[in-house]
């Protein structure tokens, strides 16, 4: 019996990832029917039988047995004498089933079939990958770090598909090692040289939204809605939430008992500060909440120009602006208003200052608490005192004070 074993001849294609057996069998059948059309001009009287389990392929030719000299269509009919050479018991009117030897196609034709099959399988894999991840855009997935490069990280999913996490989509504090599992959101599916490229993101607001959905059952169940998220990845994020159930406090539900729900997300986002605020359609109240943790004294709104002048006490200005202006920038994005900050009793703030708590990622909290103990709660209040004065009034060592002053001064130098 002439047959071709696909396990040996087409090893790399038989178990192609993500492709179901019926589709695979249809592709193999189409490829060999193309071969038949090239050799015989038609595939009408041929059956291509693929055994998916064993990987075997058979091609059966069907012809009707007619009297000698009455063959009109050699593809569909065979003379009686010719048929009896194959099996003496055949009679006129019966159908002759004959197996086609694959080797009859010739080595060149078989190689061409193999290349065609490889191309078809490759296209199928691409389409399956595009559909799979096209449907998962906006979802969180977990993948293993396979290779770390300067501009991007290559990851593999559970099926071995390659995923890309570009540097621009990484949190600045992210550091990855080969073999570790990381979480990210599927941002988009790009086509590069006709090859699908799955792009992941850890900086997208969607990533934070999905993390909240995982940690907060009320969001998953639809009792709490996330109205808007704005982020400065690794620094600060603001999340406006609204409850559809009067019995549920949306902010409290998102933060959790003693911050239990939010702490896991903060760790995942490399200590990114997350302000969860209660959404309201009252723009004045929304602006006030968006400038958390600062407390506003009063404001002047211009709804036509979407502009607001916000007045605060002197010690609240640095909190409202935030380190590198992140807090006020995010408040502007969240509310859609341009916000200008003024001291309550003075003109526009002429001396920019930063609250010490904004440096919590670089300065230990117990050191910040020690400065606060002597009344220094902003960066400039620390820098205005000499190192000797700080050493005398606090329980800190000289080297610690020097390091803190350097960190604070570098921040102001960058601002200038």
CA angle in degrees (0–180, nearest 5) for 292-294-300: 95
pLDDT string in tens for the chain (416-residue length): 334 444 444 444 545 545 566 777 777 777 777 777 777 777 777 777 776 555 567 777 788 777 777 777 777 777 777 777 777 777 777 777 777 777 667 777 777 777 777 777 777 778 878 888 888 899 999 999 999 999 999 999 988 889 999 999 999 999 999 999 999 999 999 888 878 899 999 999 999 999 999 999 999 999 999 999 999 999 999 999 999 988 999 999 999 898 899 999 999 999 999 999 999 999 989 999 999 888 888 888 888 899 999 998 888 888 899 888 999 999 999 999 999 998 876 544 445 678 888 888 888 889 988 888 887 888 888 888 888 888 888 888 989 999 999 998 888 887 65
For 211, residues 6+ apart whose C-beta sits below 8 A from its C-beta are 140, 265, 268, 269
Tell me how far CA of residue 6 lies from CA of 10, 110, 392, in angstroms. Answer: 5, 12, 84
Residue 163 to residue 161: CA distance in whole angstroms = 7
Beta-strand pair 181-192/195-201: antiparallel
pLDDT for residue 351: 59
User: Using CA of residue 110, residue 115, residue 118, residue 119, what is the dihedral sign?
Assistant: negative
Residue 150 to residue 171: CA distance in whole angstroms = 14
> Residue 72 CB: number of other CB atoms within 10 A?
7
216-279: which CATH number, 3.30.300.20, 1.10.10.60, 3.10.180.10, 3.65.10.10?
A: 3.30.300.20
> What are the phi and psi torsion angles at 401 (to 5°)?
-60, -40
Could you tell me the residue ranges of all domains in the chain? 4-132, 144-203, 216-279, 356-415
pLDDT for residue 347: 46
CATH number 3.30.1480.10 given to 4-132: yes
pLDDT for residue 5: 44
Task: Give pTM, 2 decimals.
Answer: 0.64
> Residue 376 CB: number of other CB atoms within 10 A?
20
What is the domain class of 144-203 according to CATH? Answer: mainly beta
pLDDT for residue 120: 75
Is residue 335 within 8 A of residue 287, CB to CB? The reply is yes
């Amino acid at each position: 019996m002439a047959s071709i074993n696909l396990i040996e001849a087409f090893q790399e294609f038989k178990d192609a990832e993500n492709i179901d057996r019926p589709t695979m069998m249809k592709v193999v059948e189409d490829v060999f029917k193309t071969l038949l059309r090239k050799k015989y001009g038609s595939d009408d009287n041929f059956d291509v039988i693929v055994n998916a389990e064993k990987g075997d392929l058979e091609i059966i030719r069907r012809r009707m047995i007619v009297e000698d000299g009455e063959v009109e269509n050699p593809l569909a009919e065979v003379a009686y004498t010719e048929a009896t050479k194959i099996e003496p018991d055949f009679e006129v009117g019966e159908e002759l089933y004959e197996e086609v030897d694959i080797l009859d196609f010739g080595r060149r034709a078989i190689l061409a079939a193999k290349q065609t099959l490889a191309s078809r399988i490759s296209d199928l894999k691409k389409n399956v990958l595009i559909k799979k991840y096209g449907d998962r855009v906006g979802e969180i997935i977990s993948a293993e770090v396979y290779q770390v490069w300067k501009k991007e990280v290559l990851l593999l999913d559970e099926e071995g598909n390659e995923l890309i996490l570009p540097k621009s989509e990484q949190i600045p504090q992210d550091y990855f090692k080969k073999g570790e599992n990381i979480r990210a959101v599927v941002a988009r599916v790009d086509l590069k040289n006709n090859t699908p490229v799955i792009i992941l993101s850890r900086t997208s607001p969607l990533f934070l939204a999905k993390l909240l959905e995982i940690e907060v059952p009320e969001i998953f169940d639809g009792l709490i809605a996330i109205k808007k998220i704005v982020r400065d990845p690794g620094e600060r994020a603001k999340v406006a939430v609204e409850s559809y159930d009067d019995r549920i406090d949306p902010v409290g539900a998102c933060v959790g008992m003693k911050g239990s729900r939010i702490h896991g997300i903060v760790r995942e986002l490399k200590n990114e500060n997350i302000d969860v605020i209660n959404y309201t359609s009252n723009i004045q109240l929304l602006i006030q909440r968006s400038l958390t943790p600062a407390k506003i004294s009063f404001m002047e709104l211009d709804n036509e120009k979407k502009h607001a002048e916000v007045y605060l006490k002197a010690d609240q200005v640095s909190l409202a602006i935030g380190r590198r202006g992140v807090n006020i920038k995010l408040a502007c994005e969240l509310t859609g208003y341009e916000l200008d900050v003024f001291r309550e009793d003075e003109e526009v703030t002429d001396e920019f200052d930063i609250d010490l708590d904004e440096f919590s990622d670089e300065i230990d909290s117990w050191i910040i608490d020690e400065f606060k103990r002597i009344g220094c709660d902003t960066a400039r209040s620390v820098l205005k005192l000499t190192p000797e004065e700080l050493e005398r009034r606090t329980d800190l060592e000289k080297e610690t004070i020097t390091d803190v002053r350097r960190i604070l001064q570098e921040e102001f130098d960058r601002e200038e």
